[in-house]
Copies of this chain bind each other. A is one copy, B any other.
Amino acid sequence: MYTSEYLIGYVNKAVREIRYPDEPDGLYEPIRYTLDGGGKRIRPVLTLAACVALGGDIDVAKNQALGIEMFHNFTLLHDDVMDKADMRRGKPTVHRRWNESTAILSGDAMLTMASQLVGRCDVAKMGEVMMLFNRTAMEVYEGQQYDMDFEKRPDVSVNEYIEMIRLKTSVLLGCACEMGAIMAGGDGCERSLFYEFGLKMGLAFQLQDDYLDTYGDPAVFGKRIGGDILNDKKTWLLISALAEDDSGRLLDLVGSNIAPEDKIAGVTGIYNELNLGQRCHDIIDRYAEEAIDTVKKIGLDEDALAFFVNIVNESRCRTR
């Protein structure tokens, strides 16, 4: 089995080697800018790792890994327009650096390029691969729509929230894993266990994201702590707190325009009284354990199994 670092390096090299037409530069330059921007490359690494773990050659899943990374970056690009976000991975977002039309059109091109990459495989596999990819894409859009709908709803439940992050984030990790399994020629059982593994890992991953935004160490987190609180973002923490805090203090803080430090301190204080930091981490651990239990059922060799157990443990223990 390859190491995580090797696979990340493999993905970065493959990303750099993507060839774009020279013209029109206004269409292709923002795509290069977005994809070269880095990120954890977790999805393509999962695709390659699942393929190799089932005995496939790493190169066999290269285009699918790239296609999924391209799709992921397309969603970030369009989400940033919808969220009016200014920065991404320490650089101005495409719609700030260029303009909104550029962000929309280059994103569209990325979606089509993702589809081209994913479908670049044996004819015998093309049907399954495209069906999985397109179904996943539709689910990701549905998740983004629910996320936007939730902003306007005061009564979102924890279950609805989990379903939203399942769609918006987790299914793409499930798809990334299953895609690797398909490319390796895995059977139906291996494919669905890998999908399930990615899904559970994705839930743990997204909840960890929410957790770190409030409880991360400012020195290593890379973003300002408390951003979600300042934006009244409906995370697991806020939704749980809204359901449990009957003092009315939280409702007063949400949507208020008091000084940022006071708002962060006030909301975090209520989270602490309800022990939500610990409870959030318990749920993360539960999903992580479920992911590990699932991957154990596939019957991988020791080396490959250790890779996936490690990637889950690193993910749940990450600090940024």
Q: Is the CB of B82 within 8 A of A105?
A: yes
Bits for A3-44, please: 1 = Cβ < 8 Å to B, else 0.
Answer: 000000000000000000101101100000000000000000
- The interface-forming segment of A112-120, A187-195, A208-216, A270-278 is A112-120
Interface flag for A134 (CB, 8 Å): yes
Chain B residues near A81 (CB-CB < 8 A) = 100-101, 104
Copies in the assembly, this chain: 2
Count A-side interface residues using an 8 Å CB cutoff: 36
User: Given the interface contacts A123-B127, A126-B127, does A149 sit within 8 Å of B109 by beta carbon?
Assistant: no
| Residue contact B105 to A141, C-beta cutoff 8 Å | yes
- Is there an interface contact between B134 and A116, defined as CB atoms closer than 8 Å? yes
Least Cβ–Cβ distance between A96 and chain B, in angstroms: 16
Task: Report yes or no: A112 in contact with B134, Cβ–Cβ below 8 A.
Answer: yes
Tell yes or no: A138 within 8 A of B by CB.
Answer: yes
A145–B101 CA distance with the chains assembled, in angstroms: 9
C-alpha gap A27/B168 in the complex (Å): 13
A44 to chain B, nearest CB (A): 20
* Chain B residues with CB below 8 A from A134, complex form: 112, 115-116, 119
Q: Which of A189-226 contact B (CB under 8 A)?
A: none
Which residue of chain B lies nearest to A146 when distances are taken between CB atoms in the complex?
B24
Bound together, the chains give a CA A102 to CA B113 distance in angstroms of 23
Smallest CB gap from A130: residue in B:
B119
Beta-carbon contact of A142 and B111 below 8 Å: no
A78 at the interface (CB under 8 A from B): yes
The answer to whether A112 and B127 have CB atoms under 8 Å apart is no
Residues on the B chain within 8 Å of A148, using CB: 26, 101, 105
- Tell whether A285 is near chain B: CB-to-CB under 8 Å: no
Q: Is A137 an interface residue (CB 8 A)?
A: yes
Interface presence of A108 (CB below 8 A): yes
Q: A109 to B101, alpha carbons, bound, how many Å?
A: 18
Known A-B contacts A26-B148, A78-B104, A145-B27; the reply to A138 vs B113 at CB < 8 A is yes
Q: CB distance A137 to B112 under 8 Å?
A: yes
Chain B residues within an 8 Å CB radius of A23: 142
A268 within 8 Å of B by Cβ? no
Q: Are A111 and B113 in contact (CB under 8 A)?
A: no
Residue of B nearest to A83 (CB): B101
A73 interface hit (Cβ, 8 Å): no
Contact B104 A145 (CB under 8 A): no
- Contacting pair B149 A26 (CB below 8 A): yes
Which of B27, B105, B127, B144 has a CB less than 8 Å from the CB of A105? B144
8 closest A-B pairs by beta carbon, nearest first, are A82-B101, A27-B145, A24-B145, A112-B137, A109-B141, A116-B134, A26-B145, A126-B126
